[in-house]
Amino acid sequence: MITKSLKGIMVLAAMLVSFLSPAQNRLIVNADQGDIKINKHIYGHFAEHLGRSIYGGIWVGPDSNVPNEDGYRKDVMQALINLEIPNLRWPGGCFADEYHWTDGIGDPSERPKMVNTHWGGVTEDNSFGTHEFMNFVEKIGTEPYITGNVGSGSVEEMSKWIEYINFDGVSPMADLRRKNGQEEPWKIKYWGVGNESWGCGGNMTPEYYANEYRRYATFARNYEGSKLYKIAGGANDWDLNWTDVLMKNIPLHMMDGLSLHYYTVTGTWENKGKATEFDKQEYLETLRKAARVDELLTKHSTIMDKYDPEKRIGIILDEWGTWFQVEPGTNPGFLYQQNTMRDAHVAAISLNIFNKHAERLHMANLAQTVNVLQAVILTNETEMILTPTYHVFDLYKPHKDATLLSHDLKSEEVSFGKEKMEALNVSTSRSEDGTVNISIANINPDKKIDLDVVLRGIDAKSVTAEFITAPAINSHNTFENKEVVKKADFKDFKLNKENLKVSVPANSVVMLRAK
């Protein structure tokens, strides 16, 4: 029989042991600190005239049998409204530098057709143009971000497009807009000057592009009531010299943002991995490469700090996401790929990292919204599925415009073959009403992880949580089985004053909200 005093000694000994060997996985959240806001535009999107992104994905035309509102697919529209996307970039991508906006206005039956040389050589009938795009962003309640043509366009063409969209007074372009049915100017803010000017946008040197930018930006006018946020075409991932030359050669008052593109490619560009078939080592390779965006943002920011220590100019990561082989039997020029729990982890890790860089990162745009690359929505003729990536964006909504909180994470590792990473990946923020948001990805496919969270600085009374998980790292939704991966309530946690114990399921992304 154990006496009372012996019991007491045993409890004390257990406490001492747990004190001396603190939890293997623990997270301390500095809930009462923080002064940097996570710009909601970090959760932005991108839809290019590429494959079935616009045509068939967003736009089916008013005469289509697919349920539509004024030509826009109703299902996709509603899914994007639900996701509360903050902005949508259009019309490209590489397409932007061969797009002539005047082809996409006026009576649709009279609009000229062109060849989409970048993407599949298909006929572009220009039925989705400026009015269709601007009406769409209005319908889904998001901000437009247009990229103008530098590569094959002219200063005059871009200047007139802005006049057409933003000028309220009497002028040839404003009058033309009115004639085409739009009385009020749309007052667009985000304007990109070319895309990938180092490659598909004209194969320019950074010095040459910097000069071109100065010319184009001069005639990208700020009309009354609509000051543009001008975005210079930025570097391809690790090309730090591009950022350095642009920051040096473009007067800082002439730009507001500098773009950057970063794709996660498993294997090599020539021999990319498959979207749904991969082993665990390949899985970790993808996630490790996605996580390198942390180093990438740090490196470009450090260069920008030299010229702009106040961090006024934002990095605009206007293309990011996974790029796998296209699905068998689909047009290689359409970049259609499936989307699995691995993509969900890529999204979770990337967004966690983006939040961390919120001071310099003003916007990011997932490539791309519907049916292209790491899409949030896939469609066939009449149906739609929401991908695991969609659900991560949905889970992460509370981070938008919240205050970034610092935290200290200790995580165990997971390794497969020659790949190794921390199993947990976290971001923390505080919403305006004081709620603390904790997003956690457990990338270990085989192990539930017990995490001790210390909510330092708040007296939390309650916690709510949601998550996504699935049996396998390649689990994904199909048109036959649309809800293999879906958002659900999460209950596996216990709050005791400032201590929160969470059992983070294997292969899951969790969002906890403490109040």
Using CB under 6 A as the criterion, which residues of the chain lie in contact with ligand AHR when the complex forms?
A: 48, 92-94, 195-196, 319, 367-368, 373
Smaller CB distance to ligand AHR: residue 91 or 314? 91
Cβ-closest position to ligand AHR: 93
| 8-state DSSP, 272 | B
480 catalytic per annotation: no
Smaller CB distance to ligand AHR: residue 39 or 368? 368
Distance of alpha carbon 433 from alpha carbon 435, whole angstroms: 6
| 8-state DSSP, 327 | P
413 catalytic per annotation: no
**Residues forming beta bridges with residue 274, ordered by sequence position:** none
Do 413 and 422 contact (CB within 8 A), yes or no?
A: yes
Which of 98, 143, 196, 285 is catalytic? The answer is 196
CA–CA–CA angle 26, 32, 38 (5° rounding): 85
Can you state the angle between helices 280-291 and 293-307, rounded to 10 degrees?
10
Beta carbon of residue 44, minimum distance to ligand AHR (angstroms, whole number): 14
Q: Which residues contact 24 (CB under 8 A, 6 or more apart)?
A: 410, 412
Beta carbon of residue 201, minimum distance to ligand AHR (angstroms, whole number): 8
Beta carbon of residue 206, minimum distance to ligand AHR (angstroms, whole number): 17
Beta carbon of residue 244, minimum distance to ligand AHR (angstroms, whole number): 21
Smaller CB distance to ligand AHR: residue 94 or 296? 94
Beta carbon of residue 31, minimum distance to ligand AHR (angstroms, whole number): 38
Smaller CB distance to ligand AHR: residue 94 or 504? 94
Which of 48, 98, 212, 319 is catalytic? The answer is 319
Smaller CB distance to ligand AHR: residue 93 or 445? 93
Cis peptide before 93 (omega within 30 of 0): yes
For residue 455, is it left (φ>0), alpha (ψ between -120 and 50) or beta?
Answer: beta
| 8-state DSSP, 460 | -
Pairing of β 44-46 and β 361-367: parallel
Q: Which residues contact 496 (CB under 8 A, 6 or more apart)?
A: none
Beta carbon of residue 234, minimum distance to ligand AHR (angstroms, whole number): 11
Smaller CB distance to ligand AHR: residue 94 or 344? 94
Beta carbon of residue 119, minimum distance to ligand AHR (angstroms, whole number): 8
Burial class (CB in 10 A: 0-12, 13-18, 19+), 414: buried
Do 186 and 166 contact (CB within 8 A), yes or no?
A: yes
Distance of alpha carbon 133 from alpha carbon 99, whole angstroms: 14
Smaller CB distance to ligand AHR: residue 94 or 346? 94
**Residues forming beta bridges with residue 476, ordered by sequence position:** 340
For the chain, how big is the Rg over CA atoms in Å? 24
One-letter amino acid at 464 equals: T
Question: Would you name the residues annotated as active-site residues?
Answer: 196, 319
